[in-house]
């Protein structure tokens, strides 16, 4: 195995556009043919989830097992951080034990960076507060490429609570790096105009956007993160921003619907959306396993050697 200096994935911009494509190529190769079991043989990987997760935690664990890592799943509620041990001391301890990769989720934005600054192995951000969720964005990009076989010139709408969404932030970074035009849709309290930028538009009217996009990504209303007063009345929100049977008629026949999960049926979408043939939710979660294998491979083993 080649050795490379420890490298982290804290957000999508830790990867160049070429590396993003390379990770996605690798994920597709793993989808078509499972990687050798010894890809990360004997590499101790610690899953450290301070916040609830179904999709990310499960698919990281499966990805780690598939590449032969020594998987340690640790309940941080039982960790000595709760007894006052600092992140730096925790990182030193884990490094001393022999952990080489930490996959971390934490409710605080920037926690993954703080851990990476203290740890001498690789850190993969599995979601930190409202900041970033890079492997989610990568699996969303893999799903889009599977559908359209290109990125440049695609137009994607991301709808809902953008302000509190680490998924939206990482997707904006990844999509713009690959030439996808992004339209963000939501009410001013959950989507400040400051999100607009190069290739990123802000719209308030979902009905005006739906017919123009190749893909629409619906976001969950994150009640646990929303400060009092920012959330509009739910019936007003659903009237304006819910994807439902009526609005599905506006979406092009060749467009696709994404949702990072978990979804709230009856709020940002209705059952009709999940039953619609354009829904790609299952493809997204399936791709998550392959993308996570590819990310672990890149960080631990380095970029694949390209034949001359
Ligand atoms: N999409 C996502 O991060 O889901 P989990 O919270 O279940 O990991």
Orientation of helix 17-32 relative to helix 281-301, angle to 10°: 110
Bridge partners of residue 200, in order along the sequence: 182, 197
The whole-angstrom separation of Cα 10 and Cα 5 is 16
Collapsed DSSP state (helix, strand, coil) of residue 9: strand
Judgement on whether residues 128 and 138 belong to the same structural domain of the protein: no
Judgement on whether residues 18 and 85 belong to the same structural domain of the protein: yes
Mutate to test the pocket of ligand 1, among 130, 142, 262, 268 (most ligand atoms within 8 A of CB): 262
Whether 138 maps to a domain, the answer reads yes
Cite the DSSP H helix spans in the chain: 17-32, 55-66, 87-97, 111-118, 134-148, 166-177, 206-210, 234-241, 245-248, 271-275, 281-301
Whether 2 maps to a domain, the answer reads no
**Residue ranges making up the domain that contains 55:** 12-133+288-301
Residue 225 confidence (pLDDT): 62
Whether 5 maps to a domain, the answer reads no
Assess contact for 152 and 168: CB atoms under 8 A: no
The whole-angstrom separation of Cα 97 and Cα 65 is 20
Judgement on whether residues 150 and 279 belong to the same structural domain of the protein: yes
The whole-angstrom separation of Cα 240 and Cα 160 is 10
Parallel, antiparallel, or unpaired: how do β-strands 155-159 and 122-128 relate? Answer: unpaired
Judgement on whether residues 18 and 148 belong to the same structural domain of the protein: no
Whether 79 maps to a domain, the answer reads yes
Ligand 1 binding pocket includes 127 (Cβ within 6 Å): yes
The whole-angstrom separation of Cα 135 and Cα 125 is 8
**Token pair for residue 33?**
């043919």
CATH of the domain at 109: 3.40.50.1370
The whole-angstrom separation of Cα 4 and Cα 9 is 15
Judgement on whether residues 90 and 77 belong to the same structural domain of the protein: yes
Ligand 1 binding pocket includes 134 (Cβ within 6 Å): no
Residue 76 confidence (pLDDT): 81
Residue 227 confidence (pLDDT): 65
Cβ count within 10 A of residue 291 = 29
**Token pair for residue 181?**
């035009």
Per-residue pLDDT of the chain (308 residues; tens, 9 = 90+): 555 568 999 999 999 999 999 999 999 999 999 988 899 999 999 999 999 999 999 999 999 999 999 999 988 876 777 678 888 999 999 999 999 999 999 999 999 999 999 999 999 999 999 999 999 999 999 999 999 999 999 999 999 999 999 999 999 999 999 999 999 999 999 999 999 999 999 999 999 999 999 999 999 987 766 666 777 788 899 999 999 999 999 999 999 999 999 999 999 999 999 999 999 999 999 999 999 999 999 999 997 654 43
Judgement on whether residues 64 and 146 belong to the same structural domain of the protein: no
Ligand 1 binding pocket includes 54 (Cβ within 6 Å): yes
Assess contact for 171 and 232: CB atoms under 8 A: no
Number of folded domains in the chain? 2
Residue 308 confidence (pLDDT): 39
Assess contact for 175 and 182: CB atoms under 8 A: yes
């Amino acid at each position: 195995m080649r050795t490379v200096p420890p490298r982290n994935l804290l957000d999508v911009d830790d990867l160049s556009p070429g590396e993003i494509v390379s990770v996605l190529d690798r994920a597709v190769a793993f989808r078509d043919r499972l990687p050798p079991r010894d890809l990360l043989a004997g590499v101790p990987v610690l899953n450290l989830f301070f916040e609830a997760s179904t999709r990310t935690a499960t698919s990281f664990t499966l990805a780690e097992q598939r590449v032969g890592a020594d998987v340690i799943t640790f309940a941080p509620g039982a960790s000595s951080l709760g007894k006052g041990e600092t992140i730096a001391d925790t990182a030193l301890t884990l490094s001393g034990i022999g952990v080489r990769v930490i996959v971390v989720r934490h409710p605080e934005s920037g926690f993954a960076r703080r851990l990476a600054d203290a740890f001498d192995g690789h850190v993969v951000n599995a979601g930190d507060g409202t900041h970033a969720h890079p492997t989610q964005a990568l699996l969303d990009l893999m799903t889009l490429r599977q559908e359209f076989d290109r990125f440049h010139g695609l137009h994607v709408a991301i709808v809902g609570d953008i302000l509190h969404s680490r998924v939206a932030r990482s997707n904006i970074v990844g999509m713009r790096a690959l030439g996808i035009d992004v339209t963000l849709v939501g009410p001013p309290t959950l989507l400040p105009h400051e999100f607009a930028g190069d290739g990123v538009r802000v719209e308030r009217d979902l009905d005006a956007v739906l017919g123009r996009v190749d893909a629409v990504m619906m976001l969950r209303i994150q009640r646990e993160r929303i400060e009092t007063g920012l959330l509009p009345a739910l019936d007003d929100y659903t009237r304006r921003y819910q994807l439902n049977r009526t609005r599905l008629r506006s979406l092009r026949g060749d467009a696709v619907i994404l949702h990072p999960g978990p979804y709230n049926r009856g709020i940002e979408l209705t059952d009709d959306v999940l039953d619609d043939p354009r829904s790609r939710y299952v493809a997204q979660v399936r791709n998550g396993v392959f993308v996570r294998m590819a990310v672990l491979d890149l960080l631990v083993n380095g970029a694949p050697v390209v034949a001359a």
